[in-house]
Every structure is written in C-alpha cells, then in structure tokens.
Amino acid sequence: MPAHKNTLLIKTKAQELGFSYCGISKAEFLEEEAHHLETWLKRSYNGKMSYMENHFDKRLDPRLLVDGAKSVVSLLLNYHTNQLQTDTTAPKISTYANGEDYHVVIKDKLKEFLSYIQSTIGEVNGRVFVDSAPVMDKAWAKKSGLGWVGKNSNLIHPKQGSFFFIAELIIDLELESDGPIKDYCGTCTRCIDACPTDAIVEPYVVNGSKCISYLTIELKDAIIPNEFKGKMDGWMFGCDVCQDVCPWNRFAKQHQEPRFNPKTNVLEMSKNDWKELTSEVFNELFKRSAVKRTKFDGLKRNIEFLTD
C-alpha cells in the first residue's frame, strides 16, 4: 500500500486503541537535541541518573535502535483525573501514579498495535517504547506535531495540555510525516515562578538534580539533601506543580482508560496513615503501581523527610 494509506491505517488504529493523539516523523538523527543533551549532561543536570550518559548516539538516532528504521510513530495517552487525595494535609502522589503502572498498560497497547501493523500491512520490523530504552520521547512527539516542549520541559498539546504519557513505535515502514507546531508559551513564566525547588533554572532548562520528581523517585540515597527541607511542597512521589499552574492545562480532560483510575484506598489514606505505613500495606496498595519504583524504604524516606 502507498505511504498515505498506511499512515491513515496506523492513525485510525491508534485511535481505536484509545491513544489520545498520534503523530509521525521521519526516523533520522536529532541534530538540535544532540547539542542540548550534551550541554545538559556537562552541567550535571542529570544528578545521579548516570544512565542518562549511556547510549548517547542511540538516544539521538532511532536507526541505531531498529535496523532500517524509517518512521517514528509517537503516541499520547491522557492520564488526567480530577479525583484527588481526600486528606489535603497528607503527603502527595503525582497524578500519573495513582492508577495501574503506565508501563504495563501502554506496553499492552503497543504490542497489540505492532502486531496489527504486521498482520495488516505485511512484514514490518519494529520496536515499541515506553520509558524502556534510550528514546527522546518529547523530542519525537514535538517533531511529529503533538505539541511543543514548554518552559517546564513538558510536552504541551494546544487542545489538552500536558497530562499525557508518551510512547513510540519505531518501524522500518515509510510513512507520511507530520510537521512540528508553534511554541505557544509566549511570555508566561508561571511554571518557573511556582517550582518549589527552583529546578527550572532558565526557560526550557530543568536542573534534574533539583526536581522533586528526581528527589523522590530517581535519587536512591538514604537521605534527601537537607537543602530541600521545607521545599518539597508535600510531595512524596513525583510532583505536579509545574503542570498544575500551566494555563494550557485548563483544557485537560478526564482520561478514558479504566486502568488509570485511582485506587480508592490510596486516595483515602490520611496523613497519619502514611506516617504509619508498613511494608505489608505498601505492597498491597502499590501491587501494580509505578510507585513501586521507590520501594518501601524509599517512600518511607520521602514521608519522613516531609513530616519530621
């Protein structure tokens, strides 16, 4: 089939699988991002995320991940919800982690997607990605017109804001590419002004080592640096501040994925419940959750840092 028909087929299937948006870009070297990534790493903004220094070339060229790659299919899946934790004084969990682990949910969809492409179009070689390999998700989503990367470094879609997971299919199939869209951040600095730890050091540049998400998830040290005492804004896993204040998120809509629905027993935990959290309760609450990444000791460390 010609490229335009295959493109329509793929975008239609993406919608059927529940993805919010689908965009396509040519699989090629990310020249502009190469300079930005190199500078970011030189400034040690990756903190102790040493894995960010690995596979530099693969991060920038999808053809090193999939032989003969021709297209990157970028996908957005909405996770926004208005359901909040009932105790407003309790330690907070980032919205994206309230439901079932997105890695599992999205990978299930992606595997079905790739299988459909192979059975419908023919012999197509490819791989699926959701935070699972050195792929620059936001760069590819931006190239394929799914939004612009805002001053908080999140991808922002003009119709629905930034509460999305990003995933990709990298395939050796020629498709019609979409072009990037304009940056609509304008003169707004709400995310920069609101960041509790001043992690957004300049527009579009985040010092990862100061980000609350990094401190509560990626940092594996036994102790969070004391300089952040009183600056965590109550977050024990992740942080939504720069998204919550973004004017574009007034357009955010309730997600339609049942597996992302928050667990009632998690939302109803009180401040005291969290302080008294046991490993047994942790394992029960977060059986199929992204929060498991911190492990019990990590979450306990975060809670104690907030409440001591």
* Pairwise CA distance, residues 15 & 209, whole Å: 36
Spell out the SS3 assignment of 49-99. CHHHHCCHHHHHCHHHCCCCCCEEEEEEEECCCCCCCCCCCCCEECHHHCC
Q: Which of 61, 87, 131, 273 is catalytic?
A: 131
Q: Is 183 a catalytic residue?
A: no
Amino acid at site 93: I
Active site residues: 131
